[in-house]
Structure 1
């Protein structure tokens, strides 16, 4: 099976082909539905690959997207076996779980893959093509130890819980780089273009798709502003996520870097795009995502800091949250549609816990003596 890229009037789209190079129709219908909801090309591509993997599992077990509802085990049990297959585990059912020679997937990754499968089945059920599948169960809210006088008359709260969702580690919910690490990465760049790319991510919080989608006209060095503008059908498939347009402001050193880049590096380049190939490939054409990903691989090797593009955006947000910026203001800076997306930055990391512990003991101005006396008291007892 394979994910096939096709060119349409509105840009690249994706279909999934079976081993006979025939389009898998239910997957095609679902991807068309997502496209009608204006999901990003990246989302469409990711879902296409996730659904291809699911269809490979079905094919190995002589099943199809539709036939799992006729199987003896039942649809939910087959999906549970699919989870085991993704993990590389054996199960007790009749479904064959083939070990996959690759790095073990995390529970978070498997949950994301299941979202695509569950979404497809929900769509097909709403379209009356399959029986309705209930992926959620009602769960009673947490019972309070204290019960008020009118406790029995109050309505019991319930929540909906996904029966297939795996538990994920919550302690470190996102990775980010510090300013010290950013400075090392910045110095490791060997040209102005690459320095400007990582500066816009860390100092302005831009996503990779927003950076490579910038046009020269979006840059206003006179007041230090950068306009994030949604555009369709760019030559490098760049796109502003969720149409979240906005404006960001650059610090002075980035403004100077931008001016030098505009006047010395791309002055003679005939392209409206800000970031273009200057050193290899099709010189003068807009850079693509893989160009930036290759840059970060090189920076990781040179600096010894394992980093990816989104860690710079996380660093931007984390630095501002630690400086005392309120959550709603941070939401506006990040151009999130939902406050829930910004809530991850309220998470207390292990580094935060350590800093709080150090601050507490330093505030006593006697941390070593305090712990020594405490230990002695415990020993005497």
Structure 2
């Protein structure tokens, strides 16, 4: 059975990428073409790498079954699902419906690409056409054409909504940062990082990728400053990749002054690294930060304070608070960097208290209740 691995590459233009290679270090061309297509669609590197890792397992299964990818049919896909569920794939634990569906979605997208290219396959072995039903009396038309339906989709358990925090929790977490270390400069960096995530709604990758020129000049005569979310090529690490669009985010001038204070007075200086946030430890002082470092800080903070908090929860909280204050969904969509309003709506966790206040304003504007 052939074994495969995911390898990182750098293109001639400095752009980072990934490829799937076999045990002889030969690039799997079928996967390479698909990943290049995803790059052209503007997919983030983390997303592309995730696709590549899923396809690594798929091609391992193909090798085990001695199949070419264009020889697979729906009957053989049952074997692939069994393979996913086995201990040979990922961690040695039971796979959830969501995990299985993720693999299936990747493989379906891979075959969708080759359906479009033509010449390799006649139909997608993962999906079926949702054909309109008909009988001799009626013909039911489908306006948008036949829909692709994942024939093997697994049932997923619904997760509880725990993604928003409340103001008192935010304050306790912020105060708790100083208890994590006796290093005052490190605590200062962590507090600025926490504030930026909470007050801008930036993703963790966008925050770590911010450069020294990506915030506006401090101006005591103005109340509002700007965080510039930009795509920098080449970037230092895949954790700094920009998932969606570039954008300008209005923030308080107080935050801008705090960032500038950190950059000018606290941040270890480096001639080669110009991200705003850098490491402070002796072994890697001045080097750019990565996602796992921040996640470790938040894990320790959550345990210390007794309140679960992740960088993404701060993003959800930011979006929810803005929505509760009456911020337009269109403005919010742009601020959070979403490509659709449906994505923005998933970030809405409106509290009952906010609903009460909003309805009270509605009653007042309407002129009260009936007498």
> Does TM, scored on the shorter chain, surpass 0.5?
yes
Contact 1:12 1:41 in 2 (8 A): yes
1:138 is matched with 130
Contact 2:197 2:207 in 1 (8 A): yes
1:3 is matched with 6
Q: Give how far 1:211 is off.
A: 0.6
Any idea what SS the aligned residue of 2:118 has? coil
1:245 is matched with 246
| Correspondences of 1:249-328 after superposition (within 5 Å) | 249-251=250-252, 254-266=255-267, 268-270=269-271, 271-328=273-330
Distance 2:329 2:226 in 1: 22
1:338 is matched with 340
Match of 1:193 among 166, 189, 203: 189
Distance 2:159 2:81 in 1: 23
The answer to which of 213-222 and 249-258 deviates more is 249-258
Q: Is there any run of 5+ residues in structure 2 with no aligned partner, and where?
A: 179-186, 360-371
Distance change (3 Å), C-alpha of 1:164 and 1:335: same
Q: Give how far 1:268 is off.
A: 4.7
Any idea what SS the aligned residue of 2:327 has? coil
Distance 1:56 1:120 in 2: 15
Distance change (3 Å), C-alpha of 1:268 and 1:55: closer
Distance 1:34 1:196 in 2: 35
Deviations 1:312-366 (A, max 9, x none): 2112112222334342232122121212211213578xx76x9989xx9xxxxxx
2:82 is matched with 84
Distance 1:99 1:295 in 2: 29
Distance 1:343 1:86 in 2: 32
Any idea what SS the aligned residue of 2:235 has? coil
Distance change (3 Å), C-alpha of 1:345 and 1:284: closer
Distance change (3 Å), C-alpha of 1:109 and 1:308: farther
- RMSD between aligned residues: 3.3
1:235 is matched with 236
Count of matched residue positions in the alignment of Structure 1 and Structure 2:
331
Q: Give how far 1:155 is off.
A: 5.7
Contact 1:137 1:163 in 2 (8 A): no
TM-score when normalising by structure 1: 0.75
2:366 is matched with none
Q: Give how far 1:214 is off.
A: 1.0
Any idea what SS the aligned residue of 1:16 has? strand
Distance 1:313 1:297 in 2: 16
Contact 2:268 2:285 in 1 (8 A): no
Instruction: Give yes or no for the alignment of 1:49 onto 2:39.
Output: no
1:28 is matched with 32
Distance 1:156 1:31 in 2: 32
Contact 1:199 1:254 in 2 (8 A): yes
Distance 1:99 1:285 in 2: 34
Contact 2:199 2:251 in 1 (8 A): yes
TM-score when normalising by structure 2: 0.76
Contact 1:330 1:342 in 2 (8 A): yes
Instruction: Give yes or no for the alignment of 1:205 onto 2:209.
Output: no
Distance 1:249 1:37 in 2: 28
Deviations 1:120-146 (A, max 9, x none): 1122232334223242432669xxxxx
Deviations 1:264-318 (A, max 9, x none): 2127544432112222443222222332233233323333444432222112112
